[in-house]
Structure 1
């Protein structure tokens, strides 16, 4: 499809995306879809797919919103900017491959397409118009995962294709409501009048249709001036951020929620559209002047809210809501997404040319597995076969400095001044463990961070999958789990990334990428249950221990997602119209809580 027609197809979908789309004192997921934070679990620009999206402000207050797109391996940013919505505003955009948009030199590079006039900083729509386009256009960027920032995943650079950035998920985080109380400026003999932030973002009638009053005011507020300012109030937010931890407070008040949104993956060539509603988080933050961070900053993140409690809803037989306390905002957000089972239907019926793909997204995973966030500490383990050299060693006892196989010095020297010092210089080291993962996750990211789940499935006649016999070596999905991490029970499935896809029939809906695993369930239709519980033997061999638990005993992993089903019926008889169809179904889930293990979480108190 040529540039003009394909661009029109992308932008035509944006208006439809807009249609897809109370205050609480603890973090919770609002089933009615309104909130302060929106999680959109998937986007892609692969194989001719494009993603259209919207966010809606249902309140009578202007808002500052952080828009953040994250790649699917390890949640590294690929684009981040500030959005300023007027009261009752709707903002829409699309994500498409530069080549599909008609820019041959940008093939393989995802781009954000913005036909909407609402203010952003930088003002991406205005920049596109100034460049002679009919819309704003911004390429995704690899800086957060390339070069010195590489995390073990694919390392890509500007100027070439960015397949890692072509698939992931995104967030909208309300940073606060806008007012005019602090920066509105009345005209003087030396300076013209200047609107406050709320008025600057508000749409007004113009000969070209409704437009924000003055987006440049917001851009100037965030601009640092080395010399003379264009107005006495210009640079006010930038100056505040210099001394306020990258935050601004002028014309910003506590957030009020009321956002909802949606997105859709469309394929113009195939004639398919898979639409979903964003997950809405309430109770994220109640700071009096919001969390209004400068553009290009990694904050606010899901860990920036000041609410460290979460309300979790338990169904039958409890039928109650429980409020749980945590040590950080992101732990509270994770609790709202914690599930021990996720379930959904599938169909791969041959007569319908049907295909099904499951998407599983962990919106907080990087806060638990990314060494850049969690940090790294080395733990030395002795060789259990070295009975002589390691005699008397106990967990926690260090070793002398030794060069490991990678020629890196591991600092394991024991303090010789300790009265109980014992020289373990002859003790062989079996392995080096990099202890940089936080519960409930179990594997740190080094290009992958694999969490193994049990896959069970039933056909439409309630016939279950056949459990494996001990000692059997059944076929499993690809990629395989790390050695020694396979839990007992049904065939495992390794979810190794922040965004994971499981193709249950070889239909390939969203394209073949590293984030895609495949399996054959053996039946043409039915339903699947993924179980995230992970019981391991205690070191003393006297019982089992649930590794996937948070500090309040919530079992499983913080996860969301959906199933996409596609039906291909070819061209209608005697015509050129494709009769293809697509449907998207949100995952269903269960929650479970156990007595937490305080030693595992380092939360034990006297008497525990």
Structure 2
């Protein structure tokens, strides 16, 4: 058995070394191997079960950089909160998503934070009341505030200045002046947009300027799980600056289009083709030429791999041990461009006010069904192993008889651990014999899907002397 493992390890090392020279080119959007990118995808935020979510982004350049920040809810990726950041050279911005009044998420910013923000009016800033998924934009899913309480976050660089401190024009070198410009406070949004996009404002697009981090913190339980967002390198080649303003009616004067509004840029705004290193170590660059299809290609996964541990009693074969629990998060960041087929401005496949360009031409594939009645389900095939290579017989979900991921951001829990505070009805239950205490899982997709995520595991001694949590990014099996 050990000899077989060593042969497998040697083969894996050989494949890795053989593919070292096959990194995607500067003309292809890809998952950055060094965690720097032009777009960042934070796979999860939550304020459930006593959790807060810390997010941060660093501008690693000597340029002023404009960034679109967008929170998307877990069911259907509808935009629930967005704003703009103007990062000064070498700036780091950080904030925390906390549970606020009425169980509504709030964004809390440290008192000493000096980064310029556009679209935040208070601190802490409550998420806006539900708009994107209630009438007339309802999608068949829940319409309450609870839907705001978990999802994922995207940060997309819109543009940058030529470089160096003090390079903003005098007319726009304060946060209040920049904020007024991005908000299109004048009566002529078209003129404001032209000014905003004109040199020497944010007319550059430097390579891979952004670095991110996030942390899930549960103070009452002593948990702090830290991880990194997925960084997309070479997302665009040209700036994409938009106003912090909704699109106007086509019949109104001084209109701006969907493409000029706060709905963009999105993950559908890539202007490069997608690429990845496939399971054989070869470079695959035959995916979408641009837009959501390109990002889907960059994120394409045949399966996700990660570890798990679950010991609800703190006892085991060797005697007393730790109480442990594990949840997995699996997010499909581009799924809405395939399954959210409504036509209004909040839909993934929006056509209102001109709609999104470069949407995937084929849909809902690679996903199975359009979003309807609060879900869009895809069958998955989990295989759970313990540390001795023995696979577990899983409890088959009822009544479907199959394992399904039905949301854009999904939580899977092992033997009802529910560490992330989701109720059982909101999580995919991976249940198996209680004699299995730890191991790993292969979560295979029937068709390759654009997937990211992580596992979060906790352990404590039951007596308050030790309590900790950690996050582990999923390993991705690429298609062959």
Task: Report the more deviating stretch, 167-176 or 22-31.
Answer: 22-31
Uncovered stretches (5+) of structure 1, i.e. residues with no partner: 1-21, 99-105, 129-134, 157-161, 186-193, 201-213, 228-234, 377-435, 467-473, 487-491, 534-547, 549-555, 573-577, 594-608
> 1:457 Cα shift?
1.4
Q: Which residue number in structure 1 is paired with residue 130 of structure 2?
A: 142
> 1:225 Cα shift?
4.9
Uncovered stretches (5+) of structure 2, i.e. residues with no partner: 1-23, 246-261, 315-321, 351-361
1:444 aligned onto 2:370:
yes
Larger radius of gyration: 1
Task: Map 1:154-553 to 2 at 5 A.
Answer: 154-156=142-144, 162-179=145-162, 195=170, 197=172, 200=173, 214-225=174-185, 239-241=191-193, 248-250=197-199, 251-256=201-206, 257-287=208-238, 290-296=239-245, 297-307=262-272, 309-315=273-279, 318-349=280-311, 350-351=313-314, 352-372=322-342, 373=347, 437-446=363-372, 447-466=374-393, 475-477=395-397, 481=400, 492-513=402-423, 514-522=425-433, 523-533=436-446, 548=447
> 1:374 Cα shift?
6.7
Counterpart Cα distance in 1 of 2:371 and 2:289: 23
Query: C-alpha deviations, 1:301-338, integer Å up to 9, x for none?
Result: 1111222x1221124xx333232242541111011111
Secondary structure of the equivalent of 1:38? strand
Q: 1:109 aligns with which of 85, 104, 109?
A: 104
Paired residues of 2:395 and 2:431 also in contact (CA < 8 A): no
Paired residues of 2:455 and 2:473 also in contact (CA < 8 A): yes
Kindly tell me: are residues 337 and 375 of structure 1, through their superposed partners in 2, closer, same or farther at Cα, counting changes over 3 Å? closer
Paired residues of 2:183 and 2:243 also in contact (CA < 8 A): no
Query: C-alpha deviations, 1:17-54, integer Å up to 9, x for none?
Result: xxxxx982111011210000000000100111111110
Kindly tell me: are residues 325 and 47 of structure 1, through their superposed partners in 2, closer, same or farther at Cα, counting changes over 3 Å? closer
1:36 aligned onto 2:6:
no
- Larger RCO, structures 1/2 (Cα 8 Å, 6+ apart): 2
Counterpart Cα distance in 1 of 2:276 and 2:72: 26
Task: Report the more deviating stretch, 510-519 or 108-117.
Answer: 510-519
Q: Give the RMSD, CA atoms, in angstroms.
A: 2.7
Q: Which residue number in structure 2 is paired with residue 78 of structure 1?
A: 80
Q: Which residue number in structure 2 is paired with residue 118 of structure 1?
A: 115
> 1:248 Cα shift?
3.2
Task: Map 1:83-94 to 2 at 5 A.
Answer: 83-94=85-96
Q: Which residue number in structure 1 is paired with residue 459 of structure 2?
A: 567
Q: Which residue number in structure 1 is paired with residue 27 of structure 2?
A: 25
